[in-house]
Structure 1
């Protein structure tokens, strides 16, 4: 483990480094620590409602500025000079590279569009707008589509996966970091409790929140490791937040319910069928590919 005096901050970003010297327990505790700090800071900056403008602005500053800086400092302190084939500059560990950037942008857009194909069909049948770009023009939409994905993907994907990857298999990493990400969203249930929500409903909401965020986080982590690009997981997160959750509850009473049910099945089959081929390392060319070799 190299402190700042061993290697300058700039050199940490340019010289090949690795995280193999960090023990598995320290790596896991660091991820849990960053997650806990994220939640504590979000709740400490304002006691007003989550959607109050003052709360949103303060939390966005914490999420987009404070937490990324803290996370980079932590990773810089934990990284060490490495000359193996799995070493790379810190900025590349974080997912910032130009190699096949165009593909890292295209790939998540295609996959999310396919996965949401039935939702698009639903909106077409209901004669609703396919996308509401106007959300970006309000503070609430900016938080959900720009700020939240930017902060969460950087901290929970870019900064945690490099620490976990040297110690666990890709499969474990794909679900371990998202599990931490999912638990970090429990503060939303606490906020609902403070607002007078019933305990029974809170438990259901909390379980659903953890399941959804963990499953989405697994997809995002998979994209990060397969493409090696931060922009891939960020775009997938932002795109999903823009579209929202699919409206499954309306299907049973919909006049075209059979078409929609078939559409959902086809969309899921296509999504999972294309997930591995479209993110194959032969297409993405990421250096993370060395971790996929047994």
Structure 2
């Protein structure tokens, strides 16, 4: 793995980058709560208001790159390329990121197959009913798009100025994971105890941080915004793997087979992650070069 070597005199850039990422996280979460509403997050009016908030954030977030990136970087490339918006390698980035994520979810996908959900995916009415709901648009389009735009496309290039790609990939999702703690407030308002709400939010923050590292890796390796967006949308559709469903099967051989598929998926994902995301496949010589600056 090639790593970038940050320049010695960029301490001010590092401080600016970290502060900019922190500010983006705070503003993103705050934008969800600027509306005074008696309804919970699932109510259509709340969803519509938050759609407007994150739309404004997608316009505001790139400003951090314009003011926070080193002039040397902006002389080599465009803001659009830094944001992962380019045509070269677009199809590869979309297909490979989805395929890799599906391999990781081999166990849950197999479980869906046994439960008959695959047949549901072939029904046009299923998709028609889905796209007519605000919840589907939030989970599959708006949330993945706005979150990957702010927390990956607008943060990772800033962090790559002062960290190696490997370090930046693990620093970037920390802002993403912590940002999910705002759900504590919503859960308490819905009647959940503070202790239970904190436990669930800590768990959610942990796995969103892990996913954030994967999404940041896809963005840095492919140089495409669409790669983490596609993976994020797919993961939102699948949800967190529920191993308890396996226990519902009475046949021990079937339970063992399903568990093996979970393990095989994870091992195959680990084995294929690096070769399937080699920057040369996407003509990406921006983020994974020897010298980013």
Indicate the TM-score class for this superposition, using the shorter chain for normalisation.
Answer: 0.7 to 0.9
Among candidates 15, 21, 28, match of residue 38 of structure 1: 28
Match of 2:5 in 1: none
Structure 2 counterpart SS, 1:289: coil
Among candidates 261, 273, 286, match of residue 259 of structure 2: 261
Q: For residues 144 and 73 of structure 2, what CA distance do their matches in structure 1 show?
A: 33
1:116, 1:267 within 8 Å by CA — same for their partners in 2?
yes
The one-character-per-residue Cα deviations of 1:19-57 (angstroms, maximum 9, x if unpaired) are: x69621111011000100111110112432101111101
The one-character-per-residue Cα deviations of 1:115-149 (angstroms, maximum 9, x if unpaired) are: 11111211121222364644333111110100000
Q: Which runs of 5+ in 2 are unaligned?
A: 1-9
1:95, 1:228 within 8 Å by CA — same for their partners in 2?
yes
Match of 2:81 in 1: 92
TM-score, normalised by the number of residues in structure 1: 0.87
**CA apart distance, 1:245:** 2.0
The one-character-per-residue Cα deviations of 1:50-108 (angstroms, maximum 9, x if unpaired) are: 01111101101111x21111112232223354279x93111100000111111111111
Structure 2 counterpart SS, 1:43: coil
**CA apart distance, 1:291:** 4.7
Between 147-156 and 118-127, report the one with greater CA deviation: 118-127
Structure 2 counterpart SS, 1:245: coil
TM-score, normalised by the number of residues in structure 2: 0.87
- 1:64-83 paired onto structure 2 within 5 Å: 65-82=55-72
Among candidates 268, 274, 278, match of residue 270 of structure 1: 268
**CA apart distance, 1:285:** 2.1
Computed over aligned residues only, the root mean square deviation of the Cα atoms, in angstroms, reads: 2.0
Match of 1:7 in 2: none
Q: How many aligned positions are there?
A: 272
Among candidates 132, 153, 157, match of residue 137 of structure 1: 132
Q: For residues 38 and 116 of structure 1, what CA distance do their matches in structure 2 show?
A: 29
Q: For residues 292 and 272 of structure 1, what CA distance do their matches in structure 2 show?
A: 27
1:96, 1:229 within 8 Å by CA — same for their partners in 2?
yes
More relative contact order, 1 or 2 (CA 8 Å, 6+ apart): 2
